[in-house]
Amino acid sequence: MDDLTGKPLLRSMIGSHIWSLFDTDTVAFKREVVAYFARGYPGWTVVKVVEPIIFLRDDRNPKK
Q: Following CA atoms 37, 39, 45, 48 in sequence, which dihedral angle do they give, to the nearest 10 degrees?
A: 10
Whether residue 48 lies inside any domain: the answer is yes
More confident call, 57 vs 1 = 57
Please state the rounded mean pLDDT for residues 42-60: 93
Residue 1 maps to a domain: no
Spatial distance between the Cα atoms of 35 and 39, rounded to a whole number of angstroms: 6
Confidence category of residue 61, pLDDT binned at 50, 70, 90:
confident
Could you tell me if residue 17 is inside a domain?
A: yes
Is residue 26 a part of any domain in this protein? Answer: yes
Q: Determine, yes or no, domain membership for 21.
A: yes
* Domain coverage including residue 49: 10-58
The secondary element (H helix, E strand) that includes residue 17 is helix 16-19
Burial class (CB in 10 A: 0-12, 13-18, 19+), 21: middle
Would 38 be classed as within a structural domain?
yes
- Cβ atoms of 10 and 44 within 8 Å: the answer is yes
Q: How many domains are contained in the chain?
A: 1
For the cut 70, the answer to whether the pLDDT of residue 44 exceeds it is yes
Enter the pTM of the model. Answer: 0.83
